[in-house]
Amino acid sequence: MNQYHYSNLQVVVLAAGQGKRMRSATPKVLHDVLGRSMLSHVLANIEALCPQGIALVTGHGGEQVYAAVEKLYHVSLIKQAEQLGTGHAVQQAESACVNAEHVLIVCADTPLLQAGTLADLLERHIKSESDISFLSAKIDEPTGYGRVCRNQQGIVESIVEERDANADQRLLNEVSSGIFCVKQKLLFQLLQQVDNSNNQNEYYLPSIVPLALQEGAKVEAVLMPDANEMLGVNDRTQLRHVTELLQQRVIEGWEKEGVSIEQPSTVRIDVSVKLGMDTVIRAGSQLLGNTSVGDACEVGPYAVIKQSWVDDHVKIHAFSHLEQAHVGAHADIGPYARLRPQAELDEGVKIGNFVEIKKSIIGQNSKVNHLSYIGDTTMGQNCNVGAGTITCNYDGANKHKTVIGDGAFIGSDTKLIAPVTVGDGATIGAGSVITKLVQKNGLTLSARPEQRYVKDWKRPEKS
């Protein structure tokens, strides 16, 4: 979505706060929201603006934060050794900003923010020739946010933090999002004048507003149409809340594309999932990571599909679990099936209840319908694998391969001791233990224990 291009813009992302209220060993901005960290959500939107550069300000756990995103985004790492406030954090990034005309400052804990909203701020900032523009929002519950104070003419005068606000100011319901766009030279000149004479003894970024006005600069608040986009995450409850709101956005987006989602409050669909038209996702299902499900599929109830590729007209029945699997068109999976990494199912394959497939290719229209384990196997087309069949692929040290030809019929409860090959069209009798090559066509079966009949045998009776 690179429809923007702001080559004279440097972005500074603030991520140095400890996030103590999360009570977590993981830095706050790396917490997951529908398959992506909060920081990754923010960076994806910023990258869509095509800025000159992105500077990421980090503090404690900075290396971990940087390592999590450096391969995905072009960011430069700025360290803020001590967290002395948002203004101080921006100051640390000065050297990264010197060649830019404008600086956009974004907090890393606002995963609902959308690229279009940032672009609107930048457009307004440039068109109105403002020196400082920031996104504000009208919210019903402004507690905790900086309040936007305006004079009688409605002109912005300052942003007052909750802890510094008087009773009247606390009643104001227009709040600052913390997202600013500022002319570069002015920004760093004003930051030098910011002091920490406030309740938290911090150098606040919003303190540049009154300083700018004193110098006759132009400051504009740009009201966000959707106040939810500015919601910040400081604790687990807020994390859940933004996750729910984002999930609703994702689900409504898929509904517009022709996907039905039953009991949506019970369903999880990550942001990177792709779904086809006329597909139905039933209650309790989870579609995770880079999963793609084609047209006219039925998923669930209670199916989990992770990092998998599902073609058109597939049914994934209740309680099935797929991870890094590929399912061909018209396949029928489950209920209670497990497809593990590198399960490659061709068109029309049927995998039934309590069947596990790992690192195996299952050819077109083959069926493994009941209680089986198939691992490290290449199976041809039109095979029928009976109930309870096991590929014994592991000798305790190494994994071995099983190869099954087209049209093979494997009787129930067969053990295929790998490495082993079953020829095309072979039939294996039920209960066989197969250790050698199975010739094509014909019947192969291992010796069976003699069946005995004890005529006068009596069942024991309860004493």
Catalytic residue numbers read: 370
**Paired tokens of 289:** 């990571």
3-state secondary structure of 3: coil
Write out the residues near Mg ion by the rule CB under 5 A. 232
**Interface with ligand UD1, residue 78, by CB under 6 A:** no
| Partners of 345 in the β-ladder | 327, 362
**Interface with ligand UD1, residue 86, by CB under 6 A:** yes
CB of 177 to ligand UD1, least distance (A): 6
CA dihedral (128, 130, 133, 137) in degrees, to 10, reads -40
Judged by CB under 6 A, the stretch of 11-19, 185-193, 270-278, 440-448 that binds ligand UD1 is: 11-19
3-state secondary structure of 149: strand
**Paired tokens of 93:** 């990034």
Q: Which of 6, 66, 134, 145 binds ligand UD1 (CB under 6 A)?
A: 145
**Paired tokens of 191:** 């930051």
CA dihedral (199, 205, 207, 212) in degrees, to 10, reads 170
Burial class (CB in 10 A: 0-12, 13-18, 19+), 76: middle
Judged by CB under 6 A, the stretch of 174-182, 364-372, 402-410, 426-434 that binds ligand UD1 is: 174-182
**Interface with ligand UD1, residue 45, by CB under 6 A:** no
Q: Which is nearer to ligand UD1, 42 or 374 (CB)?
A: 42
**Interface with ligand UD1, residue 146, by CB under 6 A:** yes
What is the DSSP code (8-state) at residue 358? E
What is the C-alpha to C-alpha distance for residues 81 and 256, in angstroms, rounded to an integer?
Answer: 46
Within 150-169, the residues that bind ligand UD1 by CB under 6 A are 159, 161
Q: Which of 46, 49, 93, 108 binds ligand UD1 (CB under 6 A)?
A: 108
Neighbours of 302 (CB within 10 A): 18
CB of 200 to ligand UD1, least distance (A): 8
CB of 37 to ligand UD1, least distance (A): 13
**Interface with ligand UD1, residue 232, by CB under 6 A:** yes
Cβ pair 112, 17 in contact under 8 A: no
Q: Which is nearer to ligand UD1, 204 or 309 (CB)?
A: 204
Sites of contact with ligand UD1 (CB under 6 A): 14-17, 57, 80, 83-86, 88-89, 107-109, 145-146, 159, 161, 175-178, 204-206, 232
